[in-house]
Structure 1
Amino acid sequence: MKFLLDVLLLLPLLIVCSLESFVKLFIPKRRKSVTGEIVLITGAGHGIGRLTAYEFAKLKSKLVLWDINKVTVREEKKISIVKAEIGDVSILVNNAGVVYTSDLFATQDPQIEKTFEVNVLAHFWTTKAFLPAMTKNNHGHIVTVASAAGHVSVPFLLAYCSSKFAAVGFHKTLTDELAALQITGVKTTCLCPNFVNTGFIKNPSTSLGPTLEPEEVVNRLMHGILTEQKMIFIPSSIAFLTTLERILPERFLAVLKRKISVKFDAVIGYKMKAQ
């Protein structure tokens, strides 16, 4: 009962904050400068990572680009090289990711392990390596490239969705942890797009709209970083869906998901398991 009363007392503040947020929608936010910033991007060899590197280069940032196809040395060694030869990374873009389009039984154990190692565990290791310098300088930015699949579950993307839910949780909890420690100069941003035309998922489609082009996603990502936006949904309707999923009846949600009609090529192993 006391908790409910405390919440009711916060209603005036809710109204003020809501009005403030509404007004801010019509006021363009100033974009910060990243000239001279040391930007490390994982998964920079293709797709979103590669295009993000181009955009930071245009803004005269210093780039450190990692990709599994280009660098084979151990993670710890790579981090040591960056610190010794480049300096303190001030913008970290955790972009590297893998996806396997298959159900639980068709997804091999090593594939499940790799999905979590790349899509979320790597975020811990890179952030632990570069956050101390950001904290010391009270200056920096940590970017988590997640997915709409980190908010809304999709059949036959079980390992991927699970890892992206974890990545979104990583971003949210890190954001709160920095606030609790009063580290105000280190910002966080999380990118959550729908299907992107990078070739990882074959023949994707959904009634939410056409498959996104990487250029469109990167433009939104760069704007979000430069204006210090915490969560970026592409399309913005994804944010609305995440809210609906928490308040609508389960039966209605089942119908709604059929209407959204998410489709792509996938390997189904349940029939093989049953035999």
Structure 2
Amino acid sequence: MPPPLPPPSFGPQGDSWFAPLSIDLIVKVFKTSFFHPFIAWIIPLCFRAQNMFWDAPPMLVSIGWASFITLSWLIMAINDRLGYGRPREVDLSDEVIVITGGASGLGLLIAEVYGMRGATVAVLDVEEMENGEARGVTYYKCDVSDKEQVARVAAQIEKELGTPTVLINNAAIVNGKPLLSQSLPEIEKSLSTNLLSHFYTLKAFLPSIARNERGGTIVTVSSVIGTVGAARLTDYAAAKAGVSALHRSLTAELRQSHPNIRTVLVTPGQLSTPLFYGVRTPNRFLAPVVEPVDVAKEVIAAIDSGRNAHLAMPLYARWIDWYSVLPVSLQVLARRLAGVDTAMEEFKGREGFKKGEGKERGGFRIEAF
């Protein structure tokens, strides 16, 4: 008797047909339809086109809704201007963009986009670039956890490419082990790369950025793990919490001393990169995997517009600070439902990905925080 047939597959991992559906997609649809001022005002205009009287209940309700949405958008715009200030002028032909950890993943995407658009891009990484030399991108082999290497490369970049105007601190490593299983050198290396490297690069590049009359932009890539923490990520979570605190304090300092320098904090949730290959994804509806290209688009838009920003995605990442407000019992329940403390049990990381374990049915399935 032949063995039973496997269940039908709808995606790389046998996803169901509704797998792409997430709360973020639903919110995006509503934000560009019923919650958009332009669409909201079309409804009363359509009613009027049908010769409906101005005092008719449907007309009054639709006008009230459109007015509320318009006022909400106006308040958000005023809030952003008061909170973040005026944007700086950005001319890509004059921008020198430095990206740490730019040889792969999110950093590589941003580097290639800016290189193709005419900006001068310097990539700092210990690994060779995945796609070789990209147009407009210069690679510098540098271990950002070594302050002497960072200082040497910073001087080399200013001499060869010009004065840096944008610094994107993106480099990171993950041990993915319980605290008691990590050696002290592993912990020190993790904290040096994920946290101390930000201090090294800021000390090396910020003085040059401050000399630019048009100002510059500092981008800090952190993580929601810095807020909620997770089992097997003690060193990583501690570093990311420190990075977020560093960013906020630096922003306050620059607001007083160098108001023409903009700062962008990026706190993504689950990110599809080799860094966390093997991590089991929690609930895909409430916590969908974020593709690097989506994060790159937001970061590039913030830099291009010359504004301060806090970029958090997906939706739950924008509300993650409320987690600390919950009673402890609800926090424990939320962690169990999300599976955040069991997600790292099958972690393989970059090494597992390099061995080809991330290849599934002709493509890649990489899931990460």
TM-score in terms of structure 2 length: 0.62
- Note the aligned Cα RMSD (angstroms): 2.6
1:22 to 72, 76, 85: 76
Instruction: Indicate the SS of the match to 1:65.
Output: strand
Contact 2:179 2:234 in 1 (8 A): yes
Deviation at 1:267, TM superposition (A): 8.0
Match of 2:17 in 1: none
**2:337 maps to amino acid:** K
Q: Does residue 1:214 correspond to 2:268, yes or no?
A: no
Distance 2:243 2:231 in 1: 18
Give the superposition deviation at 1:20: 5.7
Are the equivalent residues in 1 in contact too, given 2:270–2:287 (CA < 8 A)?
no
* Pairs within 5 Å for 1:44-193: 44-70=102-128, 71-72=141-142, 74-138=149-213, 139-181=215-257, 183-193=258-268
Compute the displacement of 1:168 (Å): 0.6
- The more displaced of 40-49 and 258-267 is 258-267
Of the two structures, which has the highest relative contact order with CA contacts closer than 8 Å and spacing of 6 or more?
1
User: Which aligned pairs between 1:226-265 and structure 2 lie closer than 5 A?
Assistant: 226-227=304-305, 228-242=307-321, 244-262=322-340, 263-265=342-344
Distance 2:300 2:271 in 1: 16
SS at match of 2:228: coil
Does structure 1 retain, via aligned residues, the 8 Å contact 2:179–2:232? yes
Structure 2 segments unaligned to the other structure (5+ residues): 1-71, 129-140, 144-148, 348-369
Aligned counterparts of 2:273 and 2:287: Cα–Cα separation in 1 = 16
Q: Structure 1 residues 24 and 131, CA, compared in 2 at 3 Å: closer, same or farther?
A: same
What percentage of aligned pairs have identical amino acids?
A: 25
**Per-residue deviation, 1:19:** 8.3
What does the per-residue CA deviation read over 1:178-221, in whole Å, with 9 as the maximum and x for residues that have no partner? 1132x111011111111211122213312232322211221122
Contact 1:38 1:63 in 2 (8 A): yes
Determine if the alignment matches structure 1 residue 39 to structure 2 residue 97.
yes
Q: Distance in 2 between matches of 1:144 and 1:80?
A: 21
How far did 1:55 drift?
1.7
- Aligned-partner SS, 1:92: strand
Quote the offset at 1:172 in angstroms: 0.6
Name structure 1 gaps, 5 residues minimum: 1-17, 269-275
Q: 1:18-42 CA distances to partner (integer Å, 9 max, x unpaired)?
A: 9864345999x98954333000111
What CA distance in whole angstroms lies between the structure 2 residues aligned with 1:224 and 1:109?
Answer: 38
Question: Is residue 204–residue 211 contact of structure 1 (8 Å, CA) maintained in 2?
Answer: no
CA contact (8 A) 2:287 2:316 kept: no
SS in 1 for 2:97: strand
Maintained 8 Å contact 1:48/1:214 = yes
Cα deviation, residue 84, structure 1:
1.7
Runs of 4+ in 1 over 6 A off after TM superposition: none
Residue aligned with 2:151, SS: helix
More divergent stretch after superposition (141-150 vs 131-140):
131-140
Q: Secondary structure of 2:311's match?
A: strand
Deviations 1:48-99 (A, max 9, x none): 1100101212331101111112415822221221122222100011111101
Q: 1:195 aligns with which of 270, 275, 282?
A: 270
Does the Cα contact within 8 Å between 2:279 and 2:345 map onto a contact in 1? no
Q: Hey, what's the Cα distance between the residues in 2 that align with 1:112 and 1:50?
A: 26
SS in 1 for 2:266: strand
Greater radius of gyration (CA): 2
- How many matched pairs? 248
Q: What whole-Å deviation, never above 9, does each CA across 1:97-128 have from its counterpart, x for those lacking one?
A: 10121211112222211111111111111111
> Do the aligned partners of residues 20 and 99 (structure 1) sit closer, same or farther apart at CA in structure 2, a change above 3 Å counting?
same
